[in-house]
Chain A
Amino acid sequence: MTPTLETPMESLKANEPAWLAQRRAAGLEQFKSLPMPTARDEAWRFASVGKLEIDDYNPAEAPAEATLDALSERSNLVTERAGRMVYVDDVPADFECIHHELTEKGVIYLPIAEAIEQHPELLERYFLKESTELGSKKFFGLHAASAKAGSLLYVPRGVEIDAPFVNYYWTSGSRSAVFPHTLIIAEENTKVSVVDVLFSETDQNEALNVSVSNIHAGPNAHVFRKVVQDWNHRTVSFQLDTTVAERDAQVKNVAVNIGASRARYESQTRIDGPGADVKMYSLTVAEENQEFDQRTHQTHNAPNSVSDLLYKNALLSNARTIFSGLIQVAEGAQGTDAYQTNRNLLLDPTAEANALPGLEILANDVRCSHGATTGNVDEAELFYMMQRGIPRRVALQLMVFGFFEEVIDKIDSDELADNLRKLIHRKFDSRLKSF
């Protein structure tokens, strides 16, 4: 293990409040003491843990000013926004603060380091409090010890904001380790949306990402979070996301997964209040030797709540995907509606999709379903499309986009949806030429 990752940066320790220093120390301890996952761990079943290596990454050095400017310039997936933050190797590159109208209403949108200084009581309550139950506690510990980049978004009671807040996290340096953190606290009767974007500067720069996002959706809060992961193929990535939903909260998570060599995505939803409704959508484009390892929890601790999960993966060449999902319904959570669907489209016989759907139900009055399907390209559909004069490669591309459309449709922003289609197109175009 690299000593640099194990030693919290002096700058972090210096001005931080005691509670945070404790959390960081505990995180570091957790990282050091917990073993690396092995193939025998149920939470890592099917994952190529042997190839997981996190050594020799460094807390990144500060990138050049010109790099910060250039990447801020390239942070343009969403034009209409309520605020934007850009980090490069965890160093703040650009911060568009929010309109003073929002500030007057009590909305807080701040880089995490400033939030710690200015709103310690809020951060003490929420920052680094929700770990993961899905297998990556060790890496959450590393994140807790190291996280300095990220955003706090706090929306006080009754405030509704239409335009999204957009956070860009770039990697740039050589073998840099980044630890982006997104903290969303939406109080009662609020409406807010956030887009997190994970990008690499070039196709070449190797990186390790351990990012965490925590959503706290208060009573009747409407929270919509999208995360776009398009790291280069030399990035090892962990995304550890949690959602806590209170009474009548409505939360929608959309994950778009395109990049990284190995991408572990843990997404857990805990419904603590009755009437909450949480959606979890994901689309993944897997190619070459990529591995996407996705683990989810939908936990219902309160009655009459809904959760709906749809994860769709399209796989090419030697790519692998793993979907392991669990619906947990607690004893008192009567009237739960919980659905879980994983669909895999194999474009090459060498690709491999693994699915482990699961249910754990302790209440008797529930509607739950789970299902996973894996299928090849439908030759009859392909013939139909080609009969119209569409070449095989383009027909496959249309089919894949059609397959994803169900998820892209949930994005609710034409601009972002179009930009995502372009990212996917770029990835597919070169690969599909060989068909």
Chain B
Amino acid sequence: MNTLEVRNLTVSIEGETILKNFSLTIPKGEVHALMGPNGTGKSTLAKVMAGHEDYTVESGEVLLEGVNVLGKEPDEIAHAGLFLAFQYPLEIPGVSIANFIRAARAARLPEGEAINAVEFYKELYEKMDALKMDRKFTARSLNEGFSGGEKKRCEILQMSMLEPRLCVMDETDSGLDIDALKIVSDGVNLMRGPDRSFLVITHYQRLLDYIVPDVVHVMYDGQIIRSGDAELAKELESKGYDWIKEAHEAATAGV
């Protein structure tokens, strides 16, 4: 079964249509990259899939492992296996990283079961070490006063602790220097496996040198206008978005 099937999704906000009959399929175990210029609707897609209620779904479906998630609460969708690494992670004052991840873990346990604190911290520390995050961070308020790069690492830390089946990473590379990019990519690559799929949203090709995708999609104006293998990202990098925009506009003008 495919991990994700987005079928003919049309989404608007405040009367403006953002996603236009958008379709995307990610088979189990694959890594797909979604590239495109700013304002094209990439974050909108991510948030709609995660159950954000500000958007109006005009038509279409989002199937996560065959089950439609549109209309479900964000926490239900998370339990169904979707994790969204936010482009702009929120700051939650007074809630420590450790307590936050614990609460997220606890919410996945059957009624009456508790988290083993010793094992939890052991795992948390191991994963923080791998992401080269200072262990002192566990006690800090979530994202509060973090640098852009620290926030992004913290997103990947949460992602690895929650073991989702579909990881949606929205511009995780922005705000990361090259060393951090490598560390984060290593973390993501460790999570790759036959039962887990990824949608890596990025504006730049750079990240895809480290997280090598199976498929690259180029999005423009609410739609995927071209798909290919990892080479497509490189081509896009050298020729620029204008190349694909012009090609697209020429094609649609001809219709």
List residues of chain A with CB under 8 Å of any chain B CB.
Answer: 378, 380-381, 383-392, 394, 398-399, 401-406
Contacts and interface: CB of A to CB of B under 8 A. Distances in A.
A389 B79 contact: yes
B78 A388 contact: yes
B94 A389 contact: no
A386 B52 CA distance: 10
Contacts of A394: 103, 107
Contacts of B99: 398
A391 B103 CA distance: 9
Q: Is the interface of B mostly helix, strand, loop or mixed?
A: mixed
Interface residues of B, number: 30
B89 interface: yes
Contact of B107 (A390, A399, A406): A390
Given A384-B86, A391-B107, A403 B75 contact: no
B158 interface: yes
Contacts, number: 79
Contacts of A399: 92, 95
A403 B141 CA distance: 11
A174 B141 CA distance: 45
Contacts of A378: 90
6 contacts: A383-B50, A388-B104, A392-B73, A398-B92, A401-B95, A402-B93
B98 interface: no
Contacts of B166: none
Contacts of A381: 90-92
Contacts of B77: 387
Given A392-B75, A402-B141, A385 B92 contact: yes
Q: Which 9 A-B pairs have the closest CB atoms?
A: A402-B94, A405-B94, A389-B78, A386-B74, A388-B104, A402-B95, A384-B90, A386-B75, A389-B107
B141 A388 contact: no
Contacts of B103: 388, 390, 394, 398
Contact of B75 (A391, A401, A402, A404): A391
A383 B50 CA distance: 9
B244 interface: no
A404 B90 contact: no
B104 A389 contact: yes
A401 B95 CA distance: 7
Given A384-B86, A390-B107, A405-B95, 10 more contacts: A381-B91, A383-B50, A384-B90, A385-B92, A386-B74, A388-B78, A388-B83, A389-B78, A390-B75, A398-B100
A433 to B, nearest CB: 14
Contact of A384 (B92, B93, B141, B162): B92
Nearest to B144: A402
Interface in B47-80: 50-53, 73-75, 77-79
B52 A383 contact: yes
Given A384-B86, A388-B162, A403 B100 contact: no
Nearest to A388: B104
B45 interface: no
Contacts of A384: 86, 89-90, 92
A404 B79 CA distance: 28
Nearest to A398: B95
A406 B78 contact: no
A37 to B, nearest CB: 36
B141 A389 contact: no
A386 B84 CA distance: 11
A262 B101 CA distance: 37
